Amino acid sequence: MPNSKILVVDDEPDLQILIKQKFRTKIKTNEYEFHFAENGSEALEKIKNDGTVDLILTDINMPVMDGLTLLSKINELNNKLLRSVIVSAYGDMENIRTAMNRGAYDFITKPIDLRDLEITIEKSLKEIELYKKALLSHDKLVALQQELDIATAIQTSILPKTFPPFPDRKEFEIYSKMITAKEVGGDLFDFFFIDKYRLAVIIGDVTGKGIAAALLMAVCKSLLKATAQKGRPTDEVLSEVNNILVDESPSNMFVTVFFGILDTRNGSFEYSNGGHNPPYLITSDGNINQLENIGGLMLGAMNDSPYSSNIIMLKPDDSIFFYTDGVTEAFNKDGEEFNETRLVDSLLNANNKNSDRFVENIISNVQNFMSGAEQSDDITCMMLKYLKH
């Protein structure tokens, strides 16, 4: 019997040859057993018919059934031991983020570095083996649930709770709220003054769930605040924190972060986006547009990853709405997503409401859409409104 069974899902025949050549020694010694499928539909049948598959290595773009759909179907099988690694083009943050939220354990980018692939496979199989051992003990299963409860407490204890947070400041309004999922994720948000006039705002999402995500969220939040208070540009802040997280955080955990700084004297808003959902600018005359997605990769994914920044000018009564993908990826009982279109519809007439009423209204819209369906991810919203001064 082989120690590990790996299913490779890709419609490129050359990949089979490369993998068989790269891992020929481990195949020969029966340490690895590779199986291949050309699309998600074929892979799903193999998984259903063979309950001993340990690891799936799948491309995203394939005929018949793509990799993201395959991940969703695998989740429905409720096989807690099965792990998936996705293959995506470098910089394809939207699909990578979606895949991680649908349960992918890790990712690698094209063109595939075979050494990186080998390390990723070894790491994934080690994690699977550790989880198998944990399942042998009922007490450890109970401990997993306790960890989720602890994670919830960690999340909620370090996030801002007092609103309005700066009652003496009349240049802006800000309000945030997070509704945690049953299985806690790792959303984060924060806002604080860098100096007398500049307000920093942060929103982010840690991939994965449980106490590890909550702890990484806490670490990331603290690092961002400490680095931002040095007064450096937003892209430099993300770059420095990214390198720290690459060195210090688990290799399969990453953080999407949007970081901005509002100069309350003139409405200047500088920002850099680390793989997060770009927020929406809602102008005083009611126009709604997503901010240009300028920044770089999610934090913790790659050392020395480049980041860039952008500056926009807010006029009095302009607002910025920040959110995590738990909003747009909230599902109802029919399996429909709330999605970006419904979010934009909910943003209409935003400036007719105070920031707190507006955020509460958005969350209410999402929950009404879900109509009792189980919440699978944290739902976090934040509104920053620039006022006359």
More confident residue, 141 or 225: 225
With beta carbons less than 8 A apart as the criterion, state whether 77 and 151 touch: no
Extract the tokens encoding 143: 């401990």
Whether residue 51 sits in one domain with residue 194: no
Whether residue 268 sits in one domain with residue 168: yes
What is the pLDDT, as a whole number, of residue 81? Answer: 76
Task: Report the distance separating Cα 86 and Cα 13, nearest Å.
Answer: 17
Q: Any idea what the CATH number is for the domain that residue 209 is in?
A: 3.60.40.10
Whether residue 183 sits in one domain with residue 105: no
Whether residue 328 sits in one domain with residue 211: yes
Whether residue 269 sits in one domain with residue 356: yes
What is the pLDDT, as a whole number, of residue 337? Answer: 94
Whether residue 187 sits in one domain with residue 114: no
Beta pairing, strands 319-323 & 280-282: antiparallel
More confident residue, 340 or 137: 340
User: For residue 191, how many C-alpha atoms fall within 13 Å in the half-sphere facing its CB?
Assistant: 24
Q: Which helix (H) or strand (E) holds 282?
A: strand 280-282
Residue 311 covered by a domain: yes
Angstrom distances, CA of residue 57 to CA of 15, 66, 72, 258, 322: 11, 13, 15, 30, 33
Whether residue 358 sits in one domain with residue 224: yes
Residue 351 covered by a domain: yes
Looking at the structure of the chain, the number of domains it has is 2
* pLDDT tens digits for range 150-208: 766 766 778 898 999 999 999 999 999 999 886 666 789 999 999 999 999 999 999 87
* pLDDT tens digits for range 80-105: 778 889 888 777 788 888 888 888 88
What is the pLDDT, as a whole number, of residue 35? Answer: 92
Tell me the β-bridge partners of 172: 386
Whether residue 221 sits in one domain with residue 350: yes
Whether residue 346 sits in one domain with residue 273: yes
Expressed as residue numbers, the domain containing 108 is: 4-135
pLDDT bucket at 309, cuts 50 / 70 / 90: very high
* pLDDT tens digits for range 267-298: 999 999 999 999 999 999 889 999 999 999 99
Whether residue 298 sits in one domain with residue 254: yes
Task: Report the distance separating Cα 157 and Cα 93, nearest Å.
Answer: 30
pTM above 0.85, yes or no: no
